[in-house]
């Protein structure tokens, strides 16, 4: 009997030693090292979730968030789609993304969800997921629908890609597939506290998700992100903002997380928490933090495919940088780019890096 996606995530939780999460790294792959991770300014109205009202004039009940600005807000609890276990290629929703060249094989720790809306939906503009206070809702369950945006900027051409979803403060996004390649654009941008739960990025274009609101917390739980030449999660927000990644599988990427190295009015601190996460095919590093801005990286129960090679320091786990502001040059890797352990910035012990 094939397990559903929810069961597979439960298995991952059981395999890893999941701990309590408390809120409070010149060998890079080709792509800008410290881009600001910009978001598109163009957008549509708040998208309603799966199983929308059949009376909507232009949006099918299967689109999970009408790009026409439908105000329907039916909170269906969407069933889990059937899934497969192969991730040997990039996304099927468009041209190949920036990092989709690394085959991952069949022995994946989590099952890949199958879209419930066939080949998926490509929207013309960014969809804003408004919170309840602004006339939307606080939970958007997409029932494993695949959605992208009509992005025309190359995935490996710096910034400027369209954002697929802009998520307002306090919103939870569940059971969503972000189309791979060009339609994946700049992924999801959180404009405040947000939770991304059971989200699958087929083939990351620019970034999978961006933390953009000072002081906010972006949580990624039980999610899968594949294939990125550079960053998976971009952290631009300052003021003690936090990104938390738990119970997830991230593979074939440059950096799992990067604190912006050259943003306009750059600063910090920015915090990263990783717990019970499995990684594979790490091109550069798991985390890149700015020491001079007071960033912190806390990693527990990180599972590296094939293990961490201490002699060669591969893959890099937590690298420290001296960041710059206002795009005044590139940030500098400290300590020769070597992984740092048990420092004020990299709060990571080698005993927390495990093999799978």
Taking only Cα atoms into account, the Rg of the chain, rounded to an integer number of angstroms, comes to 19
Is pLDDT of 259 > 70?
Answer: yes
Weakest mean pLDDT among 46-55, 95-104, 226-235, 259-268: 46-55
**pLDDT computed for residue 234 by the predictor:** 98
**Which range of residues forms the domain containing residue 130?**
5-355
Report the number of distinct structural domains present in the chain: 1
Position with higher pLDDT, 133 vs 75: 133
Is pLDDT of 96 > 90?
Answer: no
Average pLDDT over residues 217-232: 97
pLDDT (tens digit, 9 = 90+) per residue, 287-334? Answer: 999 999 999 999 999 999 999 999 999 999 999 999 999 999 999 999
Is pLDDT of 95 > 70?
Answer: no
pLDDT (tens digit, 9 = 90+) per residue, 194-224? Answer: 999 999 999 999 999 999 999 999 999 999 9
pLDDT (tens digit, 9 = 90+) per residue, 278-288? Answer: 999 999 999 99
pLDDT class for 158, splitting at 50, 70, 90?
confident
**pLDDT computed for residue 266 by the predictor:** 98
For 265-316, the three-class secondary structure string (H helix, E strand, C coil) is CCCCCEEEEEEEEEEEEEEEEEEEEEHHHCCEEEEEEEEECCCCECCCCECE
pLDDT class for 102, splitting at 50, 70, 90?
low
Is pLDDT of 66 > 80?
Answer: no
Contact 221, 215 (CB under 8 A): no
User: CA nearest 283: which of 99, 87, 37, 154?
Assistant: 99
DSSP symbols for 182-207: GGGTT-EEESSSEEEEEEEESS-SS-
* Cα separation values, 113 from 5, 81, 155, 201, Å: 6, 6, 23, 10
Q: How high does pLDDT run on average in the chain?
A: 80
CATH number at residue 250: 2.160.20.10
Cα angle: 334, vertex 212, 241; to 5 degrees: 65
pLDDT (tens digit, 9 = 90+) per residue, 115-148? Answer: 999 999 999 999 999 999 999 999 999 999 999 9
**pLDDT computed for residue 103 by the predictor:** 66
**pLDDT computed for residue 157 by the predictor:** 64
User: CA nearest 130: which of 185, 79, 180, 65?
Assistant: 65
């Amino acid at each position: 009997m094939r397990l559903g996606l929810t069961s597979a995530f439960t298995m991952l939780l059981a395999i890893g030693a999941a701990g309590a999460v408390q809120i409070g790294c010149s060998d890079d792959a080709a792509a800008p090292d410290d881009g600001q991770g910009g978001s598109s300014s163009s957008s549509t109205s708040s998208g309603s979730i799966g199983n929308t009202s059949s009376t909507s004039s232009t949006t099918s009940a299967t689109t999970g968030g009408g790009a026409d600005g439908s105000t329907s807000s039916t909170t269906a609890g969407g069933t889990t789609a059937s899934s497969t276990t192969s991730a040997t290629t990039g996304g099927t929703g468009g041209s190949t993304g920036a990092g989709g060249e690394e085959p991952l094989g069949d022995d994946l720790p989590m099952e890949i969800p199958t879209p419930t809306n066939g080949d998926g939906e490509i929207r013309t503009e960014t969809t804003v997921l408004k919170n309840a206070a602004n006339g939307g809702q606080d939970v958007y369950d997409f029932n494993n629908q695949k959605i992208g945006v009509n992005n025309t900027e190359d995935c490996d051409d710096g910034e400027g890609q369209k954002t697929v979803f802009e998520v307002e403060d306090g919103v939870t996004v569940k059971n969503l597939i972000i189309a791979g390649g060009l339609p994946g654009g700049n992924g999801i941008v959180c404009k405040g506290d947000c939770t991304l739960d059971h989200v699958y990025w087929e083939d990351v274009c620019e970034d999978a998700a961006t933390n953009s609101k000072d002081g906010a917390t972006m949580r990624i739980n039980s999610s899968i992100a594949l294939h990125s030449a550079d960053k998976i999660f971009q952290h631009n927000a300052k003021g003690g903002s936090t990104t938390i990644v738990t119970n997830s599988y991230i593979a074939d990427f440059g950096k799992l997380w990067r604190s912006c190295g050259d943003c306009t009015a750059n600063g910090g601190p920015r915090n990263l928490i990783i717990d019970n996460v499995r990684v594979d095919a790490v091109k550069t590093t798991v985390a890149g933090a700015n020491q001079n801005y007071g960033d912190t990286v806390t990693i527990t129960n990180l599972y590296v495919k094939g293990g961490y090679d201490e002699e060669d320091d591969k893959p890099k786990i937590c690298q420290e940088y001296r960041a710059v502001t206002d795009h005044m040059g590139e940030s500098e890797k400290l300590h020769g780019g070597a992984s740092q352990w048990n420092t004020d910035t990299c709060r990571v012990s080698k005993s927390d890096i495990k093999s799978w």
